[in-house]
Amino acid sequence: MSTQKLLAALIVIVALPSVIHGKDDARIVKKAVERSTLNQPGTKPFHLKALLAPARNPEQNANLNGEIEIWWASPTQFKREVRSSEFHQILLVDGAHEWQENEGDYFPEWLREIAVALIEPVPNLDGVLKQADTGELRHVMGVTHISWTAVSTDGNVQKGMGCGIDVHEQTGLLTYAGCLGWGGTFHENQTFHGRKVARAVGAGSPEVTATVGTLEDLGNVSPGFFQADASGGDSHPRQTLVVDEMSLRKNLEPMSSPAWPPLQDGPLEGAIATKIVVDRSGKVRDVGSILSDNPGLSEFTSKLIWAMHFKPFLQNDEAVQVVSRITMPFKTVRPTGTESFEGAHTYFESGRTVSFPAARQGQPYMLHANFQAKVKAGTVEEGEYVDTWQSASEWRREASIGKSRFVRAQHGEKRYELAEGPDVFILRLVFRSIEPIPALDTFIESDWRIKRDTANGIKTMRVLAGYETDGVLDPEHARTYWFDEADKLVKTYFMGLETRRSQFEDFRGVQIARQITVLNKAAVAMSIRVTQISPSELVQAKTFELHGHEHTRAFTDEIR
């Protein structure tokens, strides 16, 4: 491979997230939320005005324009006016009294959520704080991300839908928060009397951005400005409740059982869930993204839910809007005459056993490889990779290039990881390129589609997750693996990088790819050459220990 080709190649790698330990996560979240929340005791009275516009495709989403204006004296005394092409509301709150004037039958949920997010990014802070210490925690590119699952059920099947909160570690500010009935993204923070207030708030799907043009002291207002018991208000004020699915389902009008369409790929049986918004008359006004065990049913399910009708949901004898979820089971068949394939996990496990000696858990071995890659300094360097394997619980993988080193190891129940130097991202790519098949506990079977294909002139089975348009794989979301008729892994595609595996050689019944070539947009970005694999003698236990670098395997789909 020529140096010129290597220098011309550009590799874009997303560093794998790692778990953060030893931090009071609830305290971090609480501080981030309180710093950016206007609607709380101690906030200086303010006047805020924001313009609303669709984040994308403004011509197609012209109905998502509007404005929000808020005059705020305290959490229990304020005036708010929201306006869009579909709805206009003036709301006055003064202690226990509330007054409304409304134009339009339906308060769009995107408008309601963004009106809340502007001054109260996390309306249920106590509930979120309880999740902060029990939810899944990860660190991704300088952001602390905490996620948890809210389970919905129709009484027979259940499915979890994600909630989460992101805090930028350097600034300590909230960048995202959301769950059922609330949430948004928060950017361009500016100081207002000790608060760091987001001046760009996004919410809804399609996303709407609220740009705060005015945030100033409230100043003097006329007597009675917040009077909420005056005459002339709406006799039927708009209210929106977030309710559990079983409560909503009690109002569901009878409907026939769905005739699920045949499915070419994926599971034939499973569950589906989504967010739903129902207006005061019982009509479905919004359906969220469909979360399905088989994505092939998403469009059909969306149409099915849009056709549902409910009896009005009552609160204190008044009909209210409702935000909830809908969950349902599905069961279908393959189209007549369609070839049936095994699940993705079958191809992954068979390919792993055929292609990688560690998967066979046989006798100890040692594997050496050399590689060439362009480092951060701009030069092409030679690197080395060594895999020392004694058993499933005694192994060590190490890659180094220049002043960088990356090591993963396991000794008994303890795992270790060491990463040092400016080019660790390259070494992570080496690890992933040599053993790329994902662990079975890190993917959802329904995400994968299988078909026969030809790769580099070889007949293969292709296993794909993500998007494909007119035969072109999406570089950001597609993950693809090609297995030949002997189940050997011969090609992969991940994060826009194609990896070709060739020059196979038998080692104890495992077909070792001596040559692994990584391509970025058809240009050679890295070349990995296995130079030696041989049986290994007994290795001292300290080889597999990296004291001070203990590691918990999480948020990575690599087994080792």
Averages of pLDDT over each 10 residues, the chain, 560 residues: 38 38 70 96 97 91 94 97 96 94 95 97 90 78 86 93 92 95 96 96 94 96 88 89 97 95 86 96 96 89 97 95 97 87 91 94 93 93 97 96 96 94 95 94 82 94 88 89 97 95 96 97 94 92 92 77
| 70 lies in the same domain as 185 | yes
Distances (CA, A) of 335 to 265, 279, 332, 340, 345: 10, 38, 10, 10, 22
Report the alpha-carbon distance of residue 277 to residue 223 in Å, rounded.
Answer: 38
| 197 lies in the same domain as 302 | no
Q: Closest Cα partner for 363 from 391, 388, 396, 397?
A: 391
| 396 lies in the same domain as 479 | yes
Show contacts of 457-464: CB within 8 Å, 24+ apart: 458/482, 458/484, 458/490, 459/484, 459/485, 460/484, 460/485, 460/490, 460/491, 461/341, 461/347, 463/344, 463/347, 463/348
| CA 447 centroid distance within chain | 14
Report the alpha-carbon distance of residue 348 to residue 512 in Å, rounded.
Answer: 16
Q: pTM of the entire structure?
A: 0.71
Q: What is the pLDDT of residue 467?
A: 82
| 134 lies in the same domain as 197 | yes
102 within domain boundaries = yes
Q: What is the pLDDT of residue 370?
A: 98
13 within domain boundaries = no
For residue 296, report the phi and psi dihedrals to the nearest 5 degrees: -65, -15
Exposed, middle or buried, 469 (CB in 10 Å: 0-12/13-18/19+)? Answer: exposed
| 372 lies in the same domain as 417 | yes
224 within domain boundaries = no
| 306 lies in the same domain as 426 | no
Question: H/E element holding 112?
Answer: helix 109-119
Q: What is the pLDDT of residue 554?
A: 65
CATH label of the domain that carries residue 269: 3.30.1150
Kindly tell me the sign of the dihedral angle through the C-alpha atoms of 461, 464, 470, 475: negative
- Contact residues for 408 (Cβ-Cβ < 8 A; gap 6+): 396, 397, 415, 416, 417, 431, 551, 560
| 355 lies in the same domain as 482 | yes
CATH label of the domain that carries residue 67: 2.50.20
83 within domain boundaries = yes
For residue 129, report the phi and psi dihedrals to the nearest 5 degrees: -60, -35
**Which among 217, 248, 264 is the end of a domain?**
217
**Which among 309, 331, 353 is the end of a domain?**
331
Q: How far apart are the first and last CA of the chain?
A: 29
The helix/strand/coil state of 496 is coil
Q: What is the pLDDT of residue 24?
A: 67
Question: H/E element holding 129?
Answer: helix 125-132
390 within domain boundaries = yes
| 138 lies in the same domain as 41 | yes
| 322 lies in the same domain as 358 | no
Residue 375: which domain range? 344-551
Report the alpha-carbon distance of residue 458 to residue 546 in Å, rounded.
Answer: 42
Q: What is the pLDDT of residue 364?
A: 95
Q: What is the pLDDT of residue 555?
A: 60
**Which among 151, 184, 217 is the end of a domain?**
217
Asked whether the beta carbons of 33 and 7 are under 8 A apart, the reply is no
232 within domain boundaries = no
What is the tally of structural domains in the chain? 3
| 356 lies in the same domain as 283 | no
Q: Closest Cα partner for 119 from 174, 39, 183?
A: 39
| 147 lies in the same domain as 264 | no
Which residues is 272 bridged to in the sheet?
Answer: 292, 328
**CA-based max dimension of the chain:** 90
9 within domain boundaries = no
Crossing angle (nearest 10°) for helices 25-36 and 125-132: 150
- State the amino acid at position 94 in one-letter form: D
402 within domain boundaries = yes
| 377 lies in the same domain as 445 | yes
In the numeric block, the tokens 């992933």 are attached to 432
